[in-house]
């Protein structure tokens, strides 16, 4: 058992990425039941809705699960206490400064892994008491930074002294998991592969968009307003890109369009005219599978890859 699985009480060192409109109770529970760490997306969620989601997850699993809190959306002070009250003790954070929340989470017996964009910030989080970090490369879907997974993971591993590093962005099979291990990571966070899962509570059109994606199916938008985001090149993408370039556009204003559009795509299946997001690795995903199968195949293949590397020693 590795230190990440031991710390969190999970079987496999894999987190489910927090994807708006996708990482809902059904998917969270499925990932946890399969031995990973299911993570609920909460960006902008109301406190009463969060409590309802927590209780629904508890009906579906008795395994550990966590929450992602997007600090910039302004609901952290309201929802973190609810998670702690309900016995949910694992958090990832993004889009904002998580440092003020580290001590309150620790005081309640919780664990926090901020999502960070650089080795420097990874070290800063460690110095401020974070239990681990997630580093997400620009290959990922949704909101991303500018560094690639390959460089970012190595930089974070070199920067921190003791805490685990979880690698994300461009990982959808055992080769990606093995590569993350080779870069020094303690585990992986996966999003796009779980979008194309049976249990993802979204319209099948959205899942098929992932399955049908080619190598150049996505584009980065949102850089001008301060939050780069990888989205599918569909009819909605030019509007998103144009809005990002408008004078005075802010992250919050762009999100006011993006989030409802994402939710609509996921719920109605209108993947042509609404925002759709997934990572660059989508092109290797060829079918929709159950979460348990995705995870088990991923780690079985990772072990095969690691074993095969023994013959390639220099």
pLDDT of residue 4: 92
What is the greatest pairwise CA distance in the chain? 58
Beta strands in the chain (DSSP E): 14-16, 38-41, 65-70, 90-94, 111-116, 133-136, 142-143, 165-168, 187-190, 218-221, 229-232
- Domain 3-201: state its class: alpha beta
Polymer length of the chain: 314
Of 115-124, 162-171, 246-255, 291-300, the least confident: 246-255
Instruction: Identify the band that residue 166 occupies on the pLDDT scale cut at 50, 70 and 90.
Output: very high
pLDDT of residue 289: 97
Of 120-134, 140-154, 279-293, 294-308, the least confident: 140-154
Whether the CA torsion 192, 198, 202, 207 is positive or negative: it is: positive
pLDDT one-digit tens code per residue, 6-51: 999 999 999 999 887 788 899 999 999 999 999 998 877 787 888 9
What is the chain's mean pLDDT, rounded? 91
The string of DSSP codes covering 246-272 is STT--HHHHHHHHHHHHHHHHHH--TT
pLDDT of residue 256: 85
Residue 114, classed as helix, strand or coil, is strand
| CA 267/CA 106 separation, integer angstroms | 36
pLDDT one-digit tens code per residue, 203-233: 999 999 999 999 999 999 988 888 788 999 9
Instruction: Identify the band that residue 1 occupies on the pLDDT scale cut at 50, 70 and 90.
Output: low
- Start and end residues for every CATH 3.20.20.70 domain found in the chain: 3-201
Q: Over pLDDT 90: what percentage of the chain?
A: 72
pLDDT one-digit tens code per residue, 60-96: 999 999 999 887 777 778 888 889 989 999 999 887 7
pLDDT one-digit tens code per residue, 169-202: 999 999 999 999 999 999 999 999 999 999 999 9
**pLDDT of 250 higher than 90:** no
**pLDDT of 269 higher than 90:** yes
Nearest residue to 28 (alpha-carbon basis) of 70, 66, 55, 84: 66
pLDDT of residue 55: 94
pLDDT of residue 307: 92
Q: How far does Cα 56 stand from its chain's mean position?
A: 20
pLDDT of residue 314: 77
pTM of this prediction?
0.90
pLDDT of residue 252: 82
What is the mean pLDDT of the segment spanning 105-129?
A: 94
């Amino acid at each position: 058992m590795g230190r990440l699985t031991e710390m969190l009480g999970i079987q496999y060192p894999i987190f489910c990425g927090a994807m708006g409109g996708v990482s809902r109770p059904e998917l969270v529970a499925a990932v946890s039941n399969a031995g990973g760490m299911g993570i609920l997306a909460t960006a902008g969620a109301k406190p009463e809705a969060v409590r309802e989601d927590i209780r629904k997850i508890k009906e579906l699993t008795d395994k550990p699960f966590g929450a992602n809190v997007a600090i910039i959306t302004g609901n952290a002070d309201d929802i973190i206490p609810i998670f702690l009250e309900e016995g949910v003790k694992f958090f990832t954070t993004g889009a904002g400064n998580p440092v003020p929340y580290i001590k309150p989470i620790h005081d309640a017996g919780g664990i926090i892994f901020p999502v960070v964009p650089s080795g420097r910030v990874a070290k800063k989080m460690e110095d401020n008491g974070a239990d681990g970090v997630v580093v997400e490369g620009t290959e990922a879907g949704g909101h991303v930074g500018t560094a690639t997974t390959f460089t970012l993971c190595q930089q974070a591993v070199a920067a921190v002294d003791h805490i685990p590093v979880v690698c994300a962005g461009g990982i959808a099979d055992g080769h990606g998991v093995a590569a993350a291990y080779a870069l020094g990571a303690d585990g992986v966070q996966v999003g796009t592969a779980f979008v194309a899962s049976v249990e993802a509570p979204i319209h099948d059109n959205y899942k098929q968009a992932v399955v049908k994606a080619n190598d150049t199916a996505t584009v980065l938008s949102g850089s001008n307003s301060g939050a780069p985001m990888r989205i599918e090149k569909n009819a909605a993408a030019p509007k998103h890109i144009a809005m990002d370039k408008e004078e005075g556009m802010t992250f919050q204003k762009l999100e006011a369009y993006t989030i409802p559009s994402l939710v609509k795509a996921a719920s109605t299946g209108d993947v042509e005219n609404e925002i759709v997001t997934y990572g660059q690795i989508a092109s290797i995903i060829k079918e929709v599978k159950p979460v348990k199968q995705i995870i088990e195949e991923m780690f079985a293949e990772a072990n095969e890859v690691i074993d095969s590397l023994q013959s390639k020693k220099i």
